[in-house]
Amino acid sequence: MKIFKDKQSLQKEIFQNNGISFIPTMGGLHKGHISLIKKSKKYKFKTLVSIYVNPKQFDNKQEFSRYPKNLKKDIEILKKLKVDYLYTPLFKDIYGFKTKNKIYLDKFSKQLCGKFRKNHFKGVVQVMNRLIEIIKPKYIFMGKKDYQQLFLIKKLISRRNINSKIIACDIIRERNGVAASTRNLKLTKNEFKIASKVYQYIVYIKKKLRTKKIFISKKEIEKKINALGVKNINYIEFRDLKDLKKRNKISNTTNIFIAYYLRNIRLIDNI
């Protein structure tokens, strides 16, 4: 695996290929990331992983500095997976140039997580716009766990006529149902158990609502989740997976989207 810290040497190498498959990450690699990489390896192009914790997408400086980092372990994982290239840029490499495309921030950036994390999606779209200009990937592999992020990057790509295709990858879960996440590392055993109970409950309630066996208001769902040990729920909403619009009922294309805190650790999921 070749490792690059600056875009000049990276571009010199990768532009010799006739295409690149790209997996943007913030490191702290886990089985969610690994599934994206394995999928990418099935495509015809070489695989490039980036590890960059983007300060612009954290409104809370503490959350940024607390974000788990373990580059040494990440490199071991990537080497084992036979990833071709790793890009670990510094701030200047990403933000020290003028972009060709202006960002496109769809109105949905203000909803769901955007309501609670000011400027988060602006930061996400900015960094992706820049990474795409540097790498010019043919394919970009992204997880449905961060569904709103996936949706907004798809919008950026279509609105700015960017010649990259997004491959959306299924959510990978731990054995207890909790979506794999770098942030899980920070949970205590008991918090991890609570997160599992939240997941199980949402699966249960979704099935009940879909088969119309019961009616339960969102307030009641929140109450139940509070009783499982969650003090702070940002939102729990039913959204259509195609257009991300709110739904009152659960259909085949509706997921339950949730964001909540366990202590100071923010978890999101859609089920």
Task: Give me the active site residues, please.
Answer: 33
The answer to whether 145 contacts ligand AMP (rule: CB under 6 A) is yes
Distance separating alpha carbons of residues 213 and 152, to the nearest angstrom: 34
Residue 173 C-beta: closest distance to ligand AMP, Å = 7
The answer to whether 33 contacts ligand AMP (rule: CB under 6 A) is yes
Region from 107-115, 164-172, 223-231, 233-241 binding ligand AMP, contact rule CB under 6 A: 164-172
Structure tokens at 73: 């372990």
The residues, ordered by sequence, that sit 6+ positions from 250 with a Cβ below 8 Å of its Cβ are 206, 209, 210, 238, 256
The answer to whether 181 contacts ligand AMP (rule: CB under 6 A) is yes
Q: Which is nearer to ligand AMP, 22 or 238 (CB)?
A: 22
Residue 213 C-beta: closest distance to ligand AMP, Å = 29
DSSP 98-157: --SSPP---GGGGSTHHHHSTTHHHHHHHHHHHHHHHH--SEEEEEGGGHHHHHHHHHHH
Structure tokens at 129: 């716009």
Q: Please identify which residue in 83, 103, 135, 142 interacts with ligand AMP, judged by CB under 6 A.
A: 142
The answer to whether 143 contacts ligand AMP (rule: CB under 6 A) is yes
How far does CA 236 lie from the centroid of its chain?
18
Q: Which is nearer to ligand AMP, 59 or 222 (CB)?
A: 59
Residue among 245, 241, 246, 250 nearest 216 (CA) = 250
For the chain, the residue count is: 271
Q: Please identify which residue in 14, 20, 180, 194 interacts with ligand AMP, judged by CB under 6 A.
A: 180
Whole-angstrom CA distances from 74 to 7, 24, 27, 38, 83 are 20, 13, 7, 15, 11
Region from 31-39, 94-102, 110-118, 158-166 binding ligand AMP, contact rule CB under 6 A: 31-39
Residue among 183, 181, 188, 139 nearest 163 (CA) = 139
Region from 6-14, 179-187, 193-201, 204-212 binding ligand AMP, contact rule CB under 6 A: 179-187
The residue behind tokens 């969102």 is 218
Residue among 112, 37, 44, 40 nearest 77 (CA) = 37
Distance separating alpha carbons of residues 168 and 170, to the nearest angstrom: 7
The answer to whether 146 contacts ligand AMP (rule: CB under 6 A) is yes
Q: Please identify which residue in 10, 36, 37, 256 interacts with ligand AMP, judged by CB under 6 A.
A: 36
Q: Please identify which residue in 7, 10, 22, 32 interacts with ligand AMP, judged by CB under 6 A.
A: 32
Q: Please identify which residue in 37, 134, 179, 268 interacts with ligand AMP, judged by CB under 6 A.
A: 179
The answer to whether 171 contacts ligand AMP (rule: CB under 6 A) is yes
Residue 137 C-beta: closest distance to ligand AMP, Å = 13
Where along the sequence are the contacts to ligand AMP (CB under 6 A)?
A: 25-26, 32-33, 35-36, 142-143, 145-146, 169, 171-172, 179-182
